Amino acid sequence: MSETAWRLIIFVGVLLIMVLWEFSSPKRQPRHSRKQRWPANLAIVAVDTVLLRIIAPVGLTGVALVAAENGWGLLNSINKSGTGIPFWVAVVASIVVLDIVIYWQHRLFHRVPVLWRMHRVHHADPDFDVTTGLRFHPAEIVLSFIIKAVAVVALGAPALAVIVFEVILNACSLFNHGNVALPKPIERVARKVLITQELHRIHHSVEKEETNSNYGFSVSWWDHLFRSYTGKAKAGSDHIDIGLKEYRDSKVTTKLWGLLKIPFKSH
């Protein structure tokens, strides 16, 4: 099977697992029904996917292959020099570096006002479930692709590393946005490595200092290392107010056209 087929199978598989988990054991009662929220959240990811296919049909993997063919990037330059490093080291190192890039990209999207305009589409979701992990404005998706492509070329990341990284990134986004909770003993251990639902729910709090923390998408190491970790919400796990205070109108936060217009609003 092709890379696209494998990635689609994994994506749909993780999505179904999380949906079933949410149905069987939801962590919180939502403000709005799935019928109200899911059409817009699923529609915007469809828009994002089509747009990326038009703008960058080769995808990040294609970018990595072009970089390898032309000897671009740090790792490709090392290999050309004859020094060489084991392939598995290049793959693991590339995944780690790309994950750090995504951490800082996420942090910048919170700190730079023009970038926050795009990213607040994600945070304006009045509820928190697996579809929130799909809800990103097309402008943010395109800019994120450009940032990742630059990182892939600069690093000279192997195509395999790019594929694995993208699969992990998408799976973790679905996982840590789930309206579920790991058993407390497991969660206490898991959060030492992973961004769990409990940690990422804090990131979706209306409290600004909590929103501006826990930026990791996969591992929690970078938040510890770069001093952006928040382990407990002020309101407690069960009472976090989700969303943005300035976006409470469901006609905006749960409708596709409303989501697409958010970056162009003044507040």
DSSP 157-218: --HHHHHHHHHHHHHHHHHHT-S----HHHHHHHTTTB--HHHHHHHTBSSHHHHTS---SS
Structure tokens at 21: 């988990």
Q: 214-245, pLDDT tens digit by residue?
A: 999 999 999 999 999 999 999 998 899 999 99
Structure tokens at 178: 């789930």
Number of structural domains (the chain) is 1
> pLDDT at position 196, please?
98
> pLDDT at position 260, please?
97
Give bridge partners of residue 244 from the DSSP assignment: 247
Q: Which domain holds residue 26?
A: 3-264
pTM for the full model?
A: 0.95
Contact 19, 130 (CB under 8 A): yes
> pLDDT at position 84, please?
75
User: HSE (CB half, 13 Å, CA atoms) of 172?
Assistant: 22
> pLDDT at position 79, please?
82
Task: Report mean pLDDT in 10-residue bins for the chain, 267 residues.
Answer: 86 97 96 96 97 94 96 91 85 98 98 97 98 98 98 98 97 98 96 98 97 97 98 92 95 96 87
> pLDDT at position 2, please?
79
> pLDDT at position 199, please?
98
> pLDDT at position 5, please?
87
Structure tokens at 48: 């994002």
Give alpha helix (H) positions in 25-81.
34-55, 59-70, 74-80
